[in-house]
Structure 1
Amino acid sequence: MKLSDPITKLQDIGKIKQSYFNQAEIYTIKDLVEYIPRSWQKIPTLKPIIELRPGQVAFCGTVEELESRYSHGGKKILTATVLDSSGSIKVVWFNMEYLEKYFKPDRIYYFLGQLQYDKGYISVTNPHYSDNPGKLDLGKLRPVYKATSKLKSSMISNAVSQLDFDRLDFDSAITDHITKSSNTTNISLTQAFELFHRPKTLEQLSLAKTRLAWEEVIWLLLAAQLTKEDNQQLNQICYNCSSQDLANFISNLSFKLTADQSRTIKEVISDFQAKYLMNRLCQGDVGTGKTIIGIIASYAMIQSGYQVAMIAPTTVLAKQHYLNAKQHLPNSIKIALLSSETNAKDKQVIYQDLASQKLDFVIGTHAIFNPKLKFSKLGLVILDEQQRFGVEQRLTLKKISKTTPHYLSLTATPIPRSLSLTVFADLDNSILKQKPLSGQMIETEIYDYTMRRKVLKQIKSRLSNNQQAYIVSSRRVNPSQNSLSAKQLFEEIEFNKLLGDKTLGYLDGSQPEASKQETLARFQAGEIDVLVATSVIEVGIDNPNATTIMIESANDFGLSSLHQLRGRVGRGSLASKCFLINTSDQIVAKQRLESLSKTQDGFKLAELDLKLRGPGQILGYEQTGKINLKIVKAFDTKLIYQIKDAIKPFINSPGWKAKIPAEELRKFYQSVEYLD
């Protein structure tokens, strides 16, 4: 039997059962082997009947007093008394009349089932039975598989029981070598799979789990290393901004850089001067000043005679970056804003100025990836709030630029350490935790949805000092039970004058860009007191006068998103407050919100979010599903560090990629897919 053989090679799996297995994405023997149990059940050992207690039990004896009758509902009920030397117990089966002929007198039978008290009597209903104790796995660990509506765990167990692991070529020469050389385990990958499906002891199960965990993480880390090396390109950008020039620019800023910002700038400048082009991810918690990193890096690159492109996910955020750049960079640097809102005439001028290098710095949305646009001398590309540059983006930039630029990604969403070590291991990481301004701690309170109007009264009181507020809902329309959409909140507050005569504004992602820009401009200018919006305001909105935020249906958001929304306030010197409206009656939902109220450390919240929701939800794009960690917990940082150290000798050896056999290399590239 081969790993590539279809599941129908096994007994009792015809076309109908094959469809059941296929629904669980089990098509081949390999798929079956990799369909790991979700838990293991400890089967009890035999005990004398007199020692049995409620719960799962195993016992044996002769079958006496076999009787059958029909219930009022027409079910056939078969009762028997099982007798051993210590006592007897009642056993009951429903609709299993064939058992009347199965049991023979004076013969020992073995039983496994749930013992329960029934009107003062103990009995076992519908137990498993056999005249061979080996068939009941007594005293063993029985795997429990994730079932579907048609595919039962017992069907999977039966299929696995037919596998001859000694004949399955599942070994990985590379990972076997790494695990054995690190003294982790001496068992092969094939042996690990067998022990995982058929453990005799908890020690064997632990050994198998360890080996399979290493298998997963080794390939993930090797995939990241391969991607990093494949993306490495020789640095042909001639950096010549003097250290004195850069120091003068930084000293003329209206604020002093934090130690984290200074360290990150040094890392970026070092990358500019390195052998290979920069591919760096800068993570900054809310309010840590990551944007200025991009501006300083842009200044240094422009002073070296190159152009810079900064790409944001929304026009709102792009305009915010444009205004920041205009504020901090000298007038001698020519800057332009490019988005879908830019008219055709202005676009044409921008295109011409970029091609002739009359324009130094363009900031915009993905409109920058327009193939009609050509850079004369692009030296740096900054991508905001998207973590990495995909393959298509890189290819497009190659077509629109004569030079291959450095890449700097900025994100205000802290990435858990374990994901930085795996998913983002192909990037160099810089982390900002210190905040430039002492700022105000944001007081966070949780209220049930029935207290919504009480919260609005508090907001009304806080607005009396000419301060401003945000009211955010997770939905634009069609709210869930007990919750209100952003539109409903706006209409209810306005109709019932719940905030008195305060001016309300409304914002959601479906509005035209011009309308959104006008609303935001009025809010920034203080013409709007309260901005009711969807999560479109999560990033890029900076109004120091906004000191209050109410988040409707806060339980619908992830912790990282809530942290970002909360970060829209507390950006000035005034005391700020965040109200979380909980519309869920589940205890775990409130506990999750309470964790937010206890800390303002985005990195701690990111770690907790990872444990609660997994990497796909944290990173916000489908490709994280290809990480497919079945054994390792995505937050098991200690193990990932251990494995990262173990693979260093291999990836540091000359020609390490050539050492991977062709079959394993295919597996390798499957692991690489998610990184693009």
Structure 2
Amino acid sequence: SDKQFMFSGDFTFQYNQYQITNPSVEQANQVVVDKSDDKIVPIYRSIKGLKPKTIRDLMKNLQPIMEFLPETLPEDLLKRQSLVSRSEAIRSLHAPKDHQSIERGRERLAFEELFEMLLAAQFNKQEQTKLEGQKIAFDEATIKQFVSSLPFDLTNAQRRSAWQILQDFEKPHPMNRLLQGDVGSGKTVVAGLAARQVAQAGLQTAIMAPTEILATQHAETLDKLLSPFGVKMALLTGHVKAKARQQILDRLKSGDIDVIVGTHALIQRGVDYHNLGFVVIDEQHRFGVKQRQSLLEKAPKMPHLLSMTATPIPRSLALTLYGELDISVLDQLPAGRLPIKTKIWSPTSAPQLYQAIDQQIDQGRQVYVICPLIDNDKNNDKKSVEAEHHKLSRTIFGHRRVGLLHGKLKPDQKETIMKQFQDGEIDILVSTTVVEVGVDVPNATVMLIENADNFGLSQLHQLRGRVGRSDHQSFCHLMLSGHEKPSQRLKEIEKSNNGFYLAEVDLKLRGPGEIYGKAQHGELNLQIASLADTKLINRAQVE
């Protein structure tokens, strides 16, 4: 038929072609507007049961009412910031006179979103200071003994962060701190030092990780650090069943356990503490109000709270995203760690690269190969893990033990494969990005990322951080998907191992929405404002 349709949505340029996400579709003849109407027509997303034209007609009928919308910001603030009123902003988005009025309307509503978010963070911070915390006195002898027992020297950044935490413990209100460290910067040791001080004071520590693999890893690391001092530890995950689980719960309630490590089940009902004083949350940047409330129910006074993340966040953004938290930064790697050698490869050089990888395996090392897709979609030229696993295990590395890991596997299958890799039973692990967060295999020294140009800078840096965890030289190979020139972000990651520098670069290149993900954006509930708009953020901060 010769019907014409009008498509609208978010235009993006991906995989060398333009794409439109969440498109709205309507017949072109229904979009035609009266000559008397404004030239700029607002496009509304499709809502189930309502056509875009119906929504447009409704909004047109509501325009007279928009004038009477109440103001939400103080008048003197509007004058200082040269912002239009709320009613004018909404009217200029639904019935714009020109492009300038659209921009003015957006600026006003975006400012309000950021202002409210920053104000809420300040209120949260004030509320935090009203809560009564468990004061934990600094015990110099205990800390000195712990530090001198370590088989390595703490970095200055670790010392500084640990001291900030120990000082927070002495305050009358509970700590609410974010410890952000680059990959491999030694966050667990800092948490362990704090937990040692808490145990000495007769209080309990709960350490929560996002996955069971990570919880198990934390438990093993902390057990080595703390058990020499008689600190009693336990691991509580879904794998701990019936009788053993009940024993742990009973010991926790009676105070026979000093440090418990697990997943978020640690704050569920039925898990009772004797005297909980300190909670560490790994890789969940924000601890919601409900979760905080459930913590209060676990202890007579609000426990001290430490969130840890391996995602370096530029300072300008950290203040916006985590305004209610105090921030400690680990920006140094432990002594003796060799910088990871990173190199960009084109597909034609693959045989040479495979030879270099094979030499590493000959030396007893292990390898990650990361691919973006799970199923081999013919419409997509990305290599799938299954196809790559088949290729490597049947041909190039037929003489090696090649494993396969992806998100569609059941949790216990994932754990088994990861355990085999940790125990050295697999030479090459072909995987999707499920290995991105936290698993520690010191013997793995090679990271090959296929289609590296399809990953964000921040994600590439996180993946690279899975290697370089011992004193062996590690390598990160970035394989291009075609023969085009490497992008700016690949060149940046090739030359720098500093996550904080790369986070700043990533922010400039792509803006924060992509870096910190839709979830983060949704969590902040930003409809109009962008975290990339640092000028507007600064203006909101001033107010």
Alignment-mate amino acid for residue 374 of structure 1: D
Kindly indicate whether residue 451 of structure 2 is the aligned counterpart of residue 537 of structure 1. no
Quick check: 1:582–1:590 contact (8 Å CA) kept in 2?
no
Displacement after TM superposition at 1:443 (Å): 2.9
Matches of 1:612 and 1:551, distance apart in 2: 21
Residue aligning to 2:256: 358
Deviations 1:460-506 (A, max 9, x none): 2332322221112233444572233323322322221x125333333
- Which of structures 1 and 2 has the bigger CA Rg? 1
Question: Residues 166, 241 of structure 1: CA spacing in aligned structure 2 closer, same or farther, 3 A cutoff?
Answer: closer
Deviations 1:392-414 (A, max 9, x none): 43343344445431111111012
Pick the aligned partner of 2:68 from 168, 184, 189.
168
Matches of 2:362 and 2:221, distance apart in 1: 30
Question: Residues 165, 260 of structure 1: CA spacing in aligned structure 2 closer, same or farther, 3 A cutoff?
Answer: farther
Question: Residues 159, 335 of structure 1: CA spacing in aligned structure 2 closer, same or farther, 3 A cutoff?
Answer: closer
Alignment of 1:152-167 (within 5 A): 163=63, 167=67
The share of aligned pairs that are identical, in percent, is 37
Residue aligning to 1:325: 222
Residue aligning to 1:664: none
Kindly indicate whether residue 334 of structure 2 is the aligned counterpart of residue 436 of structure 1. yes
Alignment-mate amino acid for residue 342 of structure 1: V
Residue aligning to 2:77: 178
Matches of 2:57 and 2:188, distance apart in 1: 55
* TM-score computed with the length of structure 1 as normaliser: 0.66
Alignment of 1:224-623 (within 5 A): 224-230=121-127, 234-329=131-226, 330-437=228-335, 439-448=337-346, 452=350, 454-478=352-376, 481-496=380-395, 498-499=396-397, 501-511=399-409, 516-583=414-481, 590-610=487-507, 615=512, 617-620=514-517, 622=519
Quick check: 1:281–1:388 contact (8 Å CA) kept in 2?
no
Quick check: 1:143–1:157 contact (8 Å CA) kept in 2?
no
Deviations 1:404-453 (A, max 9, x none): 31111111012343442223212222222121235333233334557655
Residue aligning to 2:16: none
SS at match of 1:415: coil
Question: Residues 629, 522 of structure 1: CA spacing in aligned structure 2 closer, same or farther, 3 A cutoff?
Answer: closer
Matches of 1:420 and 1:494, distance apart in 2: 43
Question: Residues 146, 175 of structure 1: CA spacing in aligned structure 2 closer, same or farther, 3 A cutoff?
Answer: farther
Displacement after TM superposition at 1:366 (Å): 2.5
Alignment-mate amino acid for residue 361 of structure 1: V
Matches of 1:433 and 1:620, distance apart in 2: 23
> Which shifted more, 321-330 or 410-419?
410-419
Quick check: 1:232–1:277 contact (8 Å CA) kept in 2?
yes
Quick check: 2:138–2:167 contact (8 Å CA) kept in 1?
no
SS at match of 1:221: helix
Alignment of 1:1-40 (within 5 A): none
Displacement after TM superposition at 1:586 (Å): 8.6
Matches of 2:99 and 2:387, distance apart in 1: 58
Quick check: 1:241–1:303 contact (8 Å CA) kept in 2?
no
Any stretches of 5+ residues in structure 1 without a counterpart?
1-19, 25-94, 96-127, 647-676
Question: Residues 249, 632 of structure 1: CA spacing in aligned structure 2 closer, same or farther, 3 A cutoff?
Answer: same
Question: Residues 276, 621 of structure 1: CA spacing in aligned structure 2 closer, same or farther, 3 A cutoff?
Answer: farther
Alignment-mate amino acid for residue 251 of structure 2: D
> Which shifted more, 287-296 or 308-317?
287-296
Quick check: 1:418–1:634 contact (8 Å CA) kept in 2?
no
Matches of 2:483 and 2:42, distance apart in 1: 31
Matches of 1:408 and 1:630, distance apart in 2: 29
Matches of 2:258 and 2:248, distance apart in 1: 10
> Which shifted more, 158-167 or 216-225?
158-167
Residue aligning to 2:14: none
Any stretches of 5+ residues in structure 2 without a counterpart?
1-5, 10-28
Displacement after TM superposition at 1:273 (Å): 1.6
Quick check: 1:241–1:301 contact (8 Å CA) kept in 2?
no
Deviations 1:11-65 (A, max 9, x none): xxxxxxxxx9xx99xxxxxxxxxxxxxxxxxxxxxxxxxxxxxxxxxxxxxxxxx
Question: Residues 375, 186 of structure 1: CA spacing in aligned structure 2 closer, same or farther, 3 A cutoff?
Answer: closer
Quick check: 1:224–1:425 contact (8 Å CA) kept in 2?
yes
Alignment-mate amino acid for residue 383 of structure 1: I
SS at match of 2:321: coil
Alignment-mate amino acid for residue 578 of structure 1: C
Alignment-mate amino acid for residue 405 of structure 2: L
RMSD: 3.7
Residue aligning to 2:26: none
Matches of 1:194 and 1:532, distance apart in 2: 53
Question: Residues 254, 185 of structure 1: CA spacing in aligned structure 2 closer, same or farther, 3 A cutoff?
Answer: same
